[in-house]
Chain A
Amino acid sequence: MMRRCLALLAACAALLSAQPALAHKPSDSYLNLQVKEQRVTGRWDIALRDLEMAVGVDGDGDGNLTWDEVRARHDAIAAYALSHLKLASGGQDCPLQVTRQLVDRHTDGAYTVLMLSGACAGPIEKLTVDYTLLAEFDPQHKGLLALRYGDATSTAILEPGRARQELLVAEVGRWRQFAEYVRQGVWHIWIGFDHILFLLSLLLPAVLLYREREWVGRDGIKPAAVDVIRIVTAFTVAHSITLTLAALGVLALPSRLVESLIAASVIVAALNNIRPLYQRARVLFAFGFGLLHGFGFASVLADLGLPQGALLTSLIGFNVGVELGQLAIVAVFLPFAYLLRNGLFYRRIIMLGGSTVIALVAAAWLAERALDLRLPSLT
């Protein structure tokens, strides 16, 4: 009701706002592509309303778009559309042609249907789609892409900010796709500094014990390894739960909240190294905050786009990748920490100094994410 208050004020008090528009649909185009070897075929449905805005279709301006008027603009429509869709494979363009133009109806009116045909230089494994249709007229326009290859279909939403996307095409498919998501998972944990710093904050004290208000080295690698395994397992179980729930659309949290809380989790973990509240707390931290980090991973996965036919495969692949990336970090960290654990360098500089630096960096992230400040070159 209050929403209308604003809307009406727009009319009567020269103030304004917008109620969510429920009446019609926002602008979309439907891009359906099919890939076989190096050939690309497909159809692209673009609303006549949008084409009127972009190239002008209504010849006599009476508001009635006839087939004759649309037909007269077919060349202009094809030229406009093709200049705003670029396909490439293996670093080389795949030029497209419009072979025919037809008409179809969607829930919000009539669309021109461009029948497409083109070829890449060689068999397509990964198709790069660069989509800028209507971007200059309507930044809220989206291109809804369905890419078919063999029996599989993957989908993507193309829009400003995500105008250029890569889609994997695999004829036999599943394994390659799985491998690609594993790779993405590994890559994400390696470039995701907040996840690494969180994990490191929890792992730094694994080779130490807190005794009489001071950290001392642990005897033997076994208790240290057990500690590491417990922490990594707790973190893994927790983020797998939320990653799965979020990727399947069961749970959703606002990304700014998630990103802010992740930064806060790093601060808490790092501060606990400087003044430990409770040794065992690290396993609980790993689990509790791991739930949050799972939402962070899920947003990355959402950006990658999940193939409809292979949702589970890619979800598991991504998760496996995250775990492998994590194990690699542990494999580098543990021997190094174990060897150095008794020296002052490790206990003072790395453990206390490192934790302080981590807490400060994370505090800057938190300020940036929660308060939406832009701090110079911290990430």
Chain B
Amino acid sequence: MSFADDQADVDKVLAGDVSAYEGIVRRWQGPLVNLAYRFCRDRGRAEEMAQEAFLRAYRALGQWRKDAVFSTWLFALATNLYRSELRRIPARTVPLDEVAEPRDPRAADGGLEDSDRDHAVRRAVLALPAKYREALILFYFHDLDVPAAAKSLSLPEGTVKARLFRGRELLRRKLPEVLAVPRLKEA
């Protein structure tokens, strides 16, 4: 459904009907903003990056080869832009060794609450080296789909798999046990 709609809208835009681009924006604004958010964890910046991605896609619309699904092309373009943006102005992160600090001091004696733990793991992803961070972000964004993540990153699947494994290993090693097992209260 979406593929045919995308193709029809692209054809209209290329024929000179700029307003047809709004259909593409409305269909893909959610995914593009969410993908940007996973890269930068800043809502305002995510929307700015997504807007720039839509603008670049508009400029490059004629380069979309219709043998690939439109969304695959769009995600690859957006991913490329987001990676460049994050290299230019990195997201605010904390060192990997400090991400397990609980936000709520009351949880300090009993391990982290679930939400704190999830938050800590996501912050830890942002603190990873770029190549592992990007592979992890795209893998989970595409619902654990390695081929889709590889296409978005324009990398071979084997490379993405290796980076995923290494990235998760880094997370597993760096995140202290407190994330998994609540510590016993001291007597």
Q: Does A pair with B?
A: no
A interface, CB within 8 angstroms of B:
none
B interface, CB within 8 angstroms of A:
none
